[in-house]
Amino acid sequence: MTRFQWYGEGIPGVDLSALCGKLVVIEGADSVGRSTQICMLRDWLESRGHAVFDTGLTRSELTQEGLDQAKSGHTLGRKTMSLFYATDFADRLENQIIPALRAGYYVLSDRYFYSVCARDTVRGADPKWLEGVYGFALKPDLVLYLKADVEALIPRTLYGKGFSYWESGMDLALGVDLLDGFKIYQSRVIKELNGMSERFDWVTVDATRDPDAIFRDLQRAIDPILVPTPVGTP
Amino acid sequence: MDTGALVQDEKRGMLIIVEGIDGSGKSTQIHLLHRWLVSEGYGVFFSEWNSSPLVKGTTKLGKKRKVLTPTTFSLIAATDFADRTEHEIIPALKAGAIVLADRYAYTAYARDVARGVPRSWVRNLYDFSVKPDIAMYFRVPLEVSLDRILTGRAQIKYYEAGMDIGLSTDVRESFKLFQERIMREYDNMVDEFGLTVIDGTRSIEEQQAEVRRIVSHKLAENHGVLGELKGDQVGRISIRRIEANS
């Protein structure tokens, strides 16, 4: 049975010894291919007989509307936004992730608070303060970092979702247009993520290759933490 | 304390806050203080607790659906407070106003910790808050506060009574136990934050006299800066607004 730990003071009233699932986080910049990999990981884990819960793709019920409004109106200050995102994360952690872990699920989290911190730091937040704020977070069993440089991200974004205001850091007025902004902003975010990957001991995978090659690396990384499955399972 | 957007020598105004459990009489006192300062000709800005328009909706939703936990409740209140700090308090102080607040970061330190949230964590959360020039803690015995609240009101709401932390299945009993915990946290904070304790068992007039003494003393120290904003113009406009709202 895994012994989970908090990053700091943790959340009051949660019995860590009752959590018997696994928490796997997939981190990486926008459009790096996390969703694709999570789908493949999910199929694979389910085929092995594990119950899987994936999160991060939906916002918390509590903060969704407020955050959407805030993002469309651009009216909240930076500290406020940081705390609003922290509320969102805490809500998902307490109401989705932890209950799933208690039920023995493998939780695949599309990003964790790391990306939020990276974005906040690029916007001028104090990293030490953020570290304190996220002291309530649970330490994952494993963090898989899909690493890619900005040049690799450009075609994936351009021919995928397209460039957008927030993902191009336009609120920071970094570039003359969405592409310019994207290059500068994403480079800064990637720099923060790279730093975190070392500090927090992530498993880094080269995400500039084709999905299958990436997936094989992820499988290899997850393998050591998998609970052995009954005989007869692929 | 990291104030982010406010550097100490940029701050031209004065921040005065009141704290205390429900029924301690603090709201009455700060209201009287507000009127007095305006009548004296000062520019006054009143910042309301839980007033951020964007965060209000989220808080309401969370309370209605009963999905708030001690951690998320604390974070939402901090988000609201950050919005007020960034949008109201800091600009007003920079402009030289006297900013009044009924409840401040200390409410979070007392109430959130009473819910079980770690002390060090919640204090770091409010790291960005502006340090008040005057922080008054209105202290009354628990029974007095409870009496004032419980006789007045028919209904105490779920989170207000601390029902979420399971102190009691009876709302009024839960409320009493919750307020008791909060009060203990306040008492323990007096030395930590240099709160000025006001004896709330005295008459309203006696308390207000003490409040005015404390504030006058501080104003005299800062006379040079705030004196610039004193003037009949400002006072008259503000009095009219207060009278229209009362």
pLDDT tier for residue B181 given thresholds of 50, 70 and 90: very high
Contact: A95, B67; criterion CB under 8 Å: yes
Sort out which chain B residues have CB atoms less than 8 A from A65's CB and list them: 57-58, 61
Contact: B57, A8; criterion CB under 8 Å: no
**Tens-digit pLDDT profile for residues B41-53:** 999 999 988 888 7
Domain membership of residue A44 (yes or no) is: yes
Residues whose CB is less than 8 angstroms from the CB of residue A14 and which lie 6 or more positions away in sequence, other chains included:
A94, A98
Tell me which residue in B65, B76, B120 faces A9 most closely, judged by beta carbons: B120
- Taking the C-alpha atoms of residue A7 and residue A9, their distance in angstroms, rounded to an integer, is 7
Domain membership of residue A88 (yes or no) is: yes
Give the range among A36-50, A146-160, A182-196, A209-223 with minimum mean pLDDT: A146-160
**Tens-digit pLDDT profile for residues A198-223:** 999 999 999 999 999 999 999 999 99
Cα first-last separation, chain B? 36
In whole angstroms, how far apart are CA A194 and each of A27, A155, A157, A186, B45?
11, 21, 20, 12, 45
- Show the CA angle centred on residue A165, arms to residues A163 and A169, nearest 5°: 100
Query: Residue B6: pLDDT above 70?
Result: no
Contact: A132, B52; criterion CB under 8 Å: no
The residue in chain A having the minimum alpha-carbon distance to the alpha carbon of residue B115 is: A12
The residue in chain B having the minimum alpha-carbon distance to the alpha carbon of residue A74 is: B54
Domain membership of residue A124 (yes or no) is: yes
Average pLDDT over residues B84-103: 94
Q: Give residue A50's pLDDT.
A: 94
pLDDT tier for residue A165 given thresholds of 50, 70 and 90: confident
Domain membership of residue A77 (yes or no) is: yes
Question: Which amino acid is it at B178?
Answer: F
Residues pairing with A109 in the sheet: A25, A55
Query: Domains along chain B?
Result: 13-245 (3.40.50.300)
Assess: ipTM above 0.95: no
Tell me which residue in A9, A69, A79 faces B82 most closely, judged by beta carbons: A79
**Tens-digit pLDDT profile for residues A80-139:** 989 999 999 999 999 999 999 999 999 999 999 999 999 999 999 999 999 999 999 999
Contact: A80, B4; criterion CB under 8 Å: no
The residue in chain B having the minimum alpha-carbon distance to the alpha carbon of residue A89 is: B72
CA–CA min distance B61, chain A (Å): 7
Average pLDDT over residues B164-176: 90
**Is B14 buried (19+), middle (13-18) or exposed (0-12) by CB count in 10 A?**
buried
The residue in chain B having the minimum alpha-carbon distance to the alpha carbon of residue A11 is: B71
* pTM of the complete model: 0.87
Contact: B70, A86; criterion CB under 8 Å: no
Q: Give residue B241's pLDDT.
A: 44
Domain membership of residue A163 (yes or no) is: no
- Taking the C-alpha atoms of residue A234 and residue B35, their distance in angstroms, rounded to an integer, is 77
Q: How many structural domains are present in chain A?
A: 1
Contact: B58, A62; criterion CB under 8 Å: yes
**Tens-digit pLDDT profile for residues A63-83:** 777 777 776 666 778 899 899
Query: Residue A166: pLDDT above 60?
Result: yes
**Tens-digit pLDDT profile for residues B131-143:** 999 999 999 998 8
Domain membership of residue A3 (yes or no) is: no
Sort out which chain B residues have CB atoms less than 8 A from A133's CB and list them: 124-125
Query: Residue B218: pLDDT above 90?
Result: yes
* Sheet with B44-47: strands ordered across: B44-47, B98-102, B14-19, B134-139, B196-199
CATH number at residue A32: 3.40.50.300
Contact: A76, B65; criterion CB under 8 Å: no
Q: How many CA atoms lie within 13 A of A61 on its CB side?
A: 12
Domain membership of residue A231 (yes or no) is: no
> Which residue range forms the structural domain that includes residue A56?
16-149+203-225
Torsion of CA A109, A111, A117, A122, to 10 degrees: -170
Tell me which residue in B54, B69, B121 faces A70 most closely, judged by beta carbons: B54
Domain membership of residue A135 (yes or no) is: yes
B10 DSSP assignment: G
Q: Give residue B75's pLDDT.
A: 96
Residues pairing with A106 in the sheet: A22, A52
Query: Residue B1: pLDDT above 70?
Result: no
Q: Give residue B224's pLDDT.
A: 53
